[in-house]
Amino acid sequence: MSTVVVEPSSLHGVMRFPSSKSQGDVSGLVFPLIASLMTPSDILIEGVNQDEWQEDKIVLEYVKAMGARIEVAGHCLHIVGPQQLHGIEMNIDTAVDALPLLAVLGTYATGTTTLSNASGCRSKESDRLFTMARALSSMGADVVEQSDGLILTKSKLHGAVVSSRDDQRVAMALTVAGLIAKGKTVVQHTECVKKSFPLFFSSLAALGARIGEFCR
């Protein structure tokens, strides 16, 4: 079982984002982007091809609606954090893969964040509504699981032992949660990340994320 230990971190530097064509059908662009909005950060993401953003375009619009300031210049994104964000309601029907990460963001944003029309998330690699509600609750989040979504209220997260349930998007989202949680967060079953974003942990570590990976 592959496990990572994550501690609160600041992110700085340049990340060269690989083409989504080289990493399957899952784009990882939003993970460093949203992580930088919630942490002391100053990062530049290079090599962003807007034609390959897929549903990440929708996520970017939601994040901007929450008050995020993201500088876009050609194929580069520049983000400085932490930023003050406010909760909104999001229709997740066309962005089901983003729900785990948006749930983490919902614990950070002021007020209430509602992720709705997300029943499709129950039939992904894991039941993402149940998995994220359980994991974030164990980290101290105020989260309510509904039949087709999640309601999250700004919370102070603390470290805990959480499981991805072999869902790569959940594993990456909980790693990002660990960057803003007090203390150490242990994310279990993270080997699944290799099939979609094999350089995820090393890419974040190169930006300064305090991540330790081990197998047992």
Structural domain boundaries of the chain? 2-215
The pairing of strands 142-146 and 149-153 is antiparallel
Walk across the sheet containing 142-146 and list its strands.
Answer: 89-91, 112-116, 149-153, 142-146
Average pLDDT over residues 9-36: 75
Tens of pLDDT, residues 171-199: 999 999 999 999 999 999 999 998 888 88
Number of Cβ within 10 Å of residue 14's Cβ equals 12
Cα separation, 28 vs 199, in Å, equals: 10
**Each residue of 88-103: pLDDT tens digit?**
999 998 888 899 999 9
pLDDT band at 29 (very low <50, low <70, confident <90, very high): confident
Active site residue 127: no
> How far apart are the C-alpha atoms of 106 and 42, rounded to whole Å?
21
CA distance 32 to 114: 22
158 DSSP β-pair partners: 182
- Does the structure show a pLDDT above 70 at 24? no
CATH number, domain 2-215, options 3.65.10.10, 3.20.20.140, 3.90.1150.10, 3.40.50.1820: 3.65.10.10
Omega before residue 82 within 30° of 0, cis: yes
- What is the structure's pLDDT at 156? 97
Out of 97, 127, 142, 148, the active site residue is 97
**Alpha carbons 16 and 122: distance in angstroms, whole number:** 32
Residues in the chain: 216
